[in-house]
């Protein structure tokens, strides 16, 4: 309310002095309120992300080099194919299953090879029996017959000797003619020859096999065994086995599909995932910054809140072209790179083979 005699300009100055502090106070209160709101919001679900960002910032300060890469297992992915032509009769594993070395993963129909293999095994047994027969020699009955023939020839020789001696005495006294004496001598010679023949036959029956016969029998056994071994190896190719322990990543073929060794195609993909590692591609200009045992931090866009610690364990032995693409249009792909293996310190089941990642190599 204006008083008498008070100038209008004075009243305006007083009103301005009052309004300015009020506005300043309101702005300060709004600023404090906003700070409190931001503080409460930062303490909510995004607190973990903020903390991870702080950790990443600490890692960035020690980064000497960054390179793209992909996750892989302890071994490279093995594309297992069939070693024989035919139709898949069974696939005994599923994706994600853990298998051991030598385990049968799938089978191919090879009934004809199995029949040939059984026939070859029978040939081996036949050749071995013939070899045993040769080593044993004649039958016992044949040896007994030969002995009896020798005994009979000896008796006949004794009788011929006695007859010859008697005719010799009579021939000397003139009681028998010369012709009778000569006949008795011939009979003696025949009996002696018959004994020698019987003895030779007995020796032949009891003799061991000739070296040539033994060598031939051995060769027949080896040949039959080689045929059976070859057929067994071919039949073994009808079973697709795991070359090492690992996890089945993918089953490419189903029962009933045709497989061929001439035009091979993978049936099952397998990898050892007992430990994960990262295969990074480092530009040739940056190789001097790395060493074995150097610490590394691994990041992936799939799980941005997680940082995986690792160390450099191996360098490649051959330069090559880039195979890991980051998707950046400005990325240069005409430079040679060297593959570097980083072994992770922990196992995360969420990580899969082939997942793209970014590797930061850290300073000492």
Q: Give the tokens for residue 309.
A: 């610690």
Q: Give the tokens for residue 176.
A: 């028998």
pLDDT digits (tens, 9 = 90+) for 246-294: 999 999 999 999 998 888 889 999 999 888 899 999 998 888 899 999 9
Measure CA of the first residue to CA of the last residue in the chain; give whole Å. Answer: 77
State how far the Cα of 93 lies from the Cα of 104, in Å rounded to an integer: 9
Confidence band, pLDDT 50/70/90 cuts, at residue 326: low
The burial of 280, by beta-carbon neighbours within 10 Å (0-12 exposed, 13-18 middle, 19 or more buried), is given as buried
Sign of CA dihedral 348, 354, 360, 363: positive
State how far the Cα of 14 lies from the Cα of 7, in Å rounded to an integer: 11
**CB distance 248 to 104 below 8 Å:** no
The burial of 362, by beta-carbon neighbours within 10 Å (0-12 exposed, 13-18 middle, 19 or more buried), is given as middle
Q: Give the tokens for residue 113.
A: 């090879």
% of the chain at pLDDT higher than 90: 42
pLDDT at 7: 44
pLDDT at 27: 41
What CATH class does 60-75+274-362 carry? Answer: mainly beta
31 has pLDDT over 80: no
State how far the Cα of 294 lies from the Cα of 282, in Å rounded to an integer: 14
53 has pLDDT over 80: no
Residues linked to residue 248 through DSSP beta bridges, in sequence order: 270
- What Rg do the C-alpha atoms of the chain give, in angstroms? 51
State how far the Cα of 232 lies from the Cα of 224, in Å rounded to an integer: 12
pLDDT at 16: 42
pLDDT digits (tens, 9 = 90+) for 330-361: 556 667 899 999 999 888 888 888 899 999 99
pLDDT at 75: 83
Cα 335 to chain center, whole Å?
Answer: 35
* Mean pLDDT score of the chain: 81
H or E stretch including 86? strand 86-91
222 has pLDDT over 90: yes
State how far the Cα of 203 lies from the Cα of 177, in Å rounded to an integer: 40
11 has pLDDT over 50: no
DSSP 244: S
59 has pLDDT over 70: no
pLDDT at 24: 41
Classify domain 87-106+240-271 by CATH number. Answer: 2.40.50.100
């Amino acid at each position: 309310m204006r008083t008498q005699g008070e100038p209008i300009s004075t009243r305006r100055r007083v009103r301005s002095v009052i309004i300015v502090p009020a506005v300043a106070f309101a702005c300060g209160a709004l600023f404090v309120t906003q700070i409190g709101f931001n503080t409460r919001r930062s303490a909510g679900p995004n607190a973990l992300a903020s903390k991870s960002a702080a950790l990443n910032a600490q890692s960035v300060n020690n980064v000497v080099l960054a390179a793209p890469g992909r996750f892989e297992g302890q071994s490279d992915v093995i594309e297992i194919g069939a070693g024989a032509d035919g139709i898949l009769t069974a696939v005994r594993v599923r994706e994600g299953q853990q298998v051991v070395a030598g385990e049968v993963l799938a089978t191919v129909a090879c009934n004809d090879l199995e029949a040939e293999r059984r026939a070859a095994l029978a040939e081996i047994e036949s050749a071995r029996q013939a070899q045993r027969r040769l080593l044993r020699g004649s039958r016992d009955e044949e040896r007994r017959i030969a002995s009896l023939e020798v005994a009979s020839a000896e008796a006949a020789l004794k009788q011929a000797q006695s007859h010859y001696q008697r005719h010799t005495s009579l021939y000397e006294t003139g009681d028998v003619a010369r012709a009778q004496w000569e006949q008795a001598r011939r009979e003696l010679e025949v009996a002696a020859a018959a004994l020698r023949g019987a003895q030779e036959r007995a020796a032949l029956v009891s003799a061991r096999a000739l070296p040539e016969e033994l060598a031939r029998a051995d060769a027949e056994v080896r040949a039959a065994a080689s045929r059976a071994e070859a057929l067994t190896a071919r039949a073994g190719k009808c079973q697709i086995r795991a070359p090492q322990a690992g996890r089945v990543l993918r089953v490419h073929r189903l029962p009933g599909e045709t497989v061929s060794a001439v035009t091979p195609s993978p049936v099952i993909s397998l990898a050892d995932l007992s430990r994960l590692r990262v295969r990074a591609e480092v530009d040739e200009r940056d190789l001097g910054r790395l060493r074995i045992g150097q610490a590394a931090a691994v990041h992936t866009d799939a799980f941005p809140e997680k940082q995986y610690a690792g160390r450099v364990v191996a360098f490649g032995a051959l330069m090559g072209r880039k195979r890991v693409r980051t998707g950046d249009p400005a990325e240069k792909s005409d430079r040679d790179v060297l593959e570097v293996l980083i072994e992770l310190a922990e196992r995360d089941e969420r990580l899969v083979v082939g997942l793209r990642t970014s590797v930061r190599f850290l300073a000492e």
